[in-house]
């Protein structure tokens, strides 16, 4: 996607260009001032996960890595500012598909440093910390030295539990970075309205204990209390069995799962392992036979892209609320 260029001289009548050329071709002082004027609301300085960035103007060639970063920009109507994208966990929301299909995909997962730089980005937005893997040459410090600003989702800043305030921060700062704060405000309002409707419906319901099963064989990779996944379970009327695990995600022993006797298993749907395969892994393990959720075959499902900090949080709360409390749907 070529960078937009102001072509002011093409708009000036030929009769006016001749005297300008006689004077050395310099535009009038007023035109020079207009050309030099910063975009409204800029420069803008923001500190994200310990990295301070100053934007003199909105990014024009953004590259998004990870689905929730991609969908954030699409939800804000910024597809014309996206040079490329990479790494989907599952399907893009249907509402965003037409815009997404017009954007170059750099790689099925993360692009190499060379491929990333070849897209000529002025901004790189990562949803997971792995997007900025230093060993792969994609670290934020290295990008900054190349003149490229970057942002990491605040879910991975490691500053404490992540909830709706952090979602508001993420949307607000991204929208502000691109000079569209009003779009961010509208998106926040819509997310909050939808979430409030669910919490009102489930507030007087019994809260089942929920074990999140992302993946794992020898151990269980689950959602801890540090990420938005924990908040989604709570807002939908459940209690995360491993809320005391401080990380966003983490490994726990199957003995711990058995000991805590969850009433519901929430399966994250993504990647090459199907939901059915994950169910069978749990159902076929004799050690889990007396775990209430497994014994009663009480499984609920969310796509992984809905269980991370992004524009699908309201979708996730609505969907999980219906699955945990079908009588309130």
Task: Indicate the CATH number of 189-328 among 3.40.50.150, 3.40.50.1980, 3.40.50.720, 3.90.280.10.
Answer: 3.40.50.1980
CA atoms within 13 A on the CB side of 46: 24
Angular region, 30: left φ>0, alpha ψ -120 to 50, beta rest: alpha
Whose tokens are 């605040």? That residue is 154
Q: How far apart are CA 196 and CA 169, in angstroms?
A: 18
Instruction: State CA 159 to chain mean position distance.
Output: 17
Average pLDDT score, the chain: 90
Confidence of residue 36 (pLDDT cuts 50, 70, 90): low
pLDDT of residue 276: 98
Confidence of residue 4 (pLDDT cuts 50, 70, 90): very low
Helices and strands counted in the chain (H then E): 13, 13
pLDDT of residue 160: 83
CATH topology of 44-152 equal to that of 189-328? Answer: yes
> What is the token pair recorded at 263?
């009433």
List the domain boundaries for the chain: 44-152, 189-328
H or E stretch covering 123: strand 123-126
Whether the predicted pLDDT of 26 surpasses 60: no
Decide if 176 contacts 41 (C-beta within 8 A).
Answer: yes
Backbone angles phi, psi at 124, to 5 degrees: -125, 125
Whether the predicted pLDDT of 8 surpasses 90: no
Sign of the dihedral through C-alpha 22, 23, 26, 28:
negative
pLDDT of residue 158: 85
Whether the predicted pLDDT of 3 surpasses 70: no
Q: Burial of 108 by CB count in 10 Å (0-12 exposed, 13-18 middle, 19+ buried)?
A: exposed
Whether the predicted pLDDT of 15 surpasses 90: no
pLDDT of residue 33: 41
Note if the bond before 204 is cis, omega within 30 degrees.
no
DSSP for residue 298: -
pLDDT of residue 317: 98
Task: Indicate the CATH number of 44-152 among 2.30.40.10, 3.40.50.1980, 3.90.1150.10, 3.40.630.190.
Answer: 3.40.50.1980
pLDDT in tens, 276-309: 999 999 999 999 999 999 999 999 999 999 999 9
* 3 state DSSP class of 166: helix
Which distant-in-sequence residues (6+ apart) come within 8 Å of 37 by Cβ?
Answer: none
Strands of the 299-303 sheet, one edge to the other: 239-240, 209-213, 264-269, 299-303
pLDDT in tens, 311-320: 999 999 999 9
Confidence of residue 38 (pLDDT cuts 50, 70, 90): confident
pLDDT in tens, 211-247: 999 999 999 999 999 999 999 999 999 999 999 999 9
pLDDT of residue 159: 83
């Amino acid at each position: 996607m070529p960078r937009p260029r102001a072509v002011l001289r093409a708009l000036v009548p030929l009769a006016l260009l001749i005297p300008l050329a006689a004077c050395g071709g310099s535009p009038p002082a007023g035109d020079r001032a207009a050309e030099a004027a910063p975009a409204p609301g800029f420069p803008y300085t923001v500190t994200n996960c310990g990295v301070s960035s100053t934007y003199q103007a909105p990014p024009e060639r953004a590259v998004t890595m990870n689905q929730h970063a991609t969908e954030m920009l699409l939800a804000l109507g910024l597809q014309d500012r996206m040079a490329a994208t990479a790494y989907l966990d599952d399907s893009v929301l249907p509402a965003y598909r037409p815009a997404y299909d017009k954007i170059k995909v750099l790689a099925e997962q993360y692009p190499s440093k060379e491929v990333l730089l070849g897209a000529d980005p002025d901004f790189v937005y990562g949803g997971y910390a792995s997007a900025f893997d230093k060993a792969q040459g994609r670290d934020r410090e290295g990008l900054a030295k190349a003149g490229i600003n970057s942002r990491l989702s605040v879910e991975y800043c490691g500053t404490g539990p992540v909830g709706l305030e952090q979602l508001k921060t993420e949307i607000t700062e991204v929208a502000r970075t691109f000079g569209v704060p009003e779009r961010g405000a509208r998106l926040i309002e819509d997310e909050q309205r939808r979430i409030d409707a669910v919490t009102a419906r489930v507030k007087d319901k019994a809260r089942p204990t929920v074990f999140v099963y992302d993946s794992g064989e020898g151990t269980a990779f689950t959602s801890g209390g540090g990420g938005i996944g924990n908040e989604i379970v709570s807002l939908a009327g459940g209690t995360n069995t491993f809320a005391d695990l401080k990380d966003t995600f983490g490994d726990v022993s199957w003995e711990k799962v058995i000991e805590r006797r969850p009433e519901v298993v929430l399966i994250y749907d993504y990647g090459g392992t199907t939901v059915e395969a994950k169910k069978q892994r749990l159902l076929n393990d004799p050690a889990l036979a007396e775990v209430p959720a497994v014994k009663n075959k009480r499984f609920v499902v969310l796509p992984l892209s809905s269980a991370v900090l992004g524009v699908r949080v309201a979708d996730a709360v609505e969907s999980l609320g219906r699955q945990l409390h079908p009588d309130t749907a």
